[in-house]
Amino acid sequence: MALDFTFTEEQEFFRQTVKDTVNRLIVPKVAELDEKEEFPLGLWKGFSALGYLGLRHEEKYGGMATDTISQMIFYEELARGSCGFAMSVIMQILMGTYFIARFGNEGIKQRILVPAIKGEKIGTICFTEDQSGSDLGGTRTLATKVNGGWRINGRKQWITNGPIAEFSTVMATVDPKLGLKGLNFYLVEKKTSDRDGFAVGQRLHKLGSRCSETSELVFDNVFIPDENFLGEEVGKGVQYAGEILNEVRVMTAMNALSIAKGAMDDARGYAKNRMAFGNPISKYQLIREKFAKFWAWYEPAWNYAYKCAWMIQNKVPCTNECMMAKYHATEMCMFAVEEAMRIYGGNAFCTEYPPQRYWRDAKFLLYGGGTHEVLCDYLGRIYCKD
Ligand SMILES: Cc1cc2nc3c(=O)[nH]c(=O)nc-3n(C[C@H](O)[C@H](O)[C@H](O)COP(=O)(O)OP(=O)(O)OC[C@H]3O[C@@H](n4cnc5c(N)ncnc54)[C@H](O)[C@@H]3O)c2cc1C
């Protein structure tokens, strides 16, 4: 019996525990978090105390060292609450700390990873620049080797947790002419002895996911010591980034599944109560069709995303599959949030009702882990390869 679609008892229990936590701590605050557009430090502290920030890290640093499927369960349940808060939390768990856990020496792990897992230090990852988003080969932030360390010069854009971060994993090039082959990761800490030149730039006001703070970060001749070079060899940054891309894509799929389900479940409640022409609108076939199409799209997207989680966990090569999981779940989500907006009629246009928030939150899923054009370009090339 090789094909097994069941979760373990531990995974089911974990899902229920996360669901209860999200229902208790986050769900009641969702509208307020969206409206205030501020990072909720109190919520962050309460949430961190439960240990979830160490989900994928070793127990000796305070982590939970859970399996990949449990991590994906967590991402799915978390995004059912506030998508913005989920962005900040997932940045900390996955992208913000991965390279520190992978390459940091013991001193760095004690100084950064241990407090990061406790929620005491907040982190970021910095790829995107003014002229380089999908195309990392266009990175201009420069890392220059100097005696005892590196000098970093450049600006990063769209950095989740940027305004509140204590540490950043920054992608920079040793020479822009080298394209992808010149890229590396560097750890920039806010509280090093020489923090001159580091500044938070313009804060961005976002359409959705508004309680995760986002900004530019500016590095003006910032010195970092040699130990903050995160890698074994110069020029391997893209290869290292590739190590977490599958996880990032399936995580994004989980967020998409969650937002889509939330939007359509709320819309179902609305449709059963909203009267038109003498009936609840849920009685009309054209309204039911929206739920039917969503459901028929959602279930395979959900199953496929967990298949990819299983493949990652079992170290089965799955680059193409994870791209497809992200693409499929996110396109399904775009459909669901749009249909939810229509089911609410004019009320959808009022911030008092939830569908506009789901619609706004969902849009950010289109960019991280590869835009859909970039994913399709890659998949199309692979499919048509001779
Ligand atoms: C809410 C939010 C949070 C973010 N957080 C972070 C963060 O913490 N750290 C970070 O580094 N970045 C972050 N980003 C940036 C994100 O990673 C980029 O938006 C993403 O990489 C896409 O890059 P871009 O926006 O520059 O778009 P571009 O790369 O400029 O693309 C613009 C358009 O061109 C299309 N395109 C590009 N190349 C091709 C091609 N070869 N073929 C066809 N079409 C193409 C794209 O699909 C898109 O439609 C965040 C973005 C958002 C919206």
214 pocket-lining for ligand 1 (C-beta < 6 Å): yes
241 pocket-lining for ligand 1 (C-beta < 6 Å): no
Nearest CA to ligand 1 atom 13: 158
Taking Cα atoms as reference points, which of 267, 248, 239 lies closest to residue 339? 267
What is the distance between the alpha carbons of residues 216 and 201, in angstroms, rounded to a whole number? 5
130 pocket-lining for ligand 1 (C-beta < 6 Å): no
107, two tokens? 């001193």
Helix (H) or strand (E) holding 178: none
9-45: pLDDT as tens digits: 999 999 999 999 999 999 999 999 999 999 999 999 9
364 pocket-lining for ligand 1 (C-beta < 6 Å): yes
Cα separations in angstroms, 272 against 2, 10, 127, 282: 42, 36, 45, 5
**pTM of the predicted protein model:** 0.96
Query: What is the 214 CA–ligand 1 centroid distance (Å)?
Result: 14
pLDDT for res 193? 43
Q: Which residues pair with 230 in a beta bridge?
A: 185
pLDDT for res 191? 67
263-286: pLDDT as tens digits: 999 999 999 999 999 999 999 999
pLDDT for res 262? 97
Cα separations in angstroms, 54 against 70, 355, 384: 12, 32, 41
What is the distance between the alpha carbons of residues 9 and 18, in angstroms, rounded to a whole number? 14
Nearest CA to ligand 1 atom 34: 373
Per-residue pLDDT of the chain (386 residues; tens, 9 = 90+): 788 899 999 999 999 999 999 999 999 999 999 999 999 999 999 999 999 999 999 999 999 999 999 999 999 999 999 999 999 999 999 999 999 999 999 999 999 999 999 999 999 999 999 999 999 999 999 999 999 999 999 999 999 999 999 999 999 999 999 999 999 999 999 865 455 789 999 999 999 999 999 999 999 999 999 999 999 999 999 999 999 999 999 999 999 999 999 999 999 999 999 999 999 999 999 999 999 999 999 999 999 999 999 999 999 999 999 999 999 999 999 999 999 999 999 999 999 999 999 999 999 999 999 999 999 999 999 999 97
pLDDT for res 353? 96
Q: Which atom of ligand 1 is nearest to the CA of 127?
A: 11
pLDDT for res 3? 87
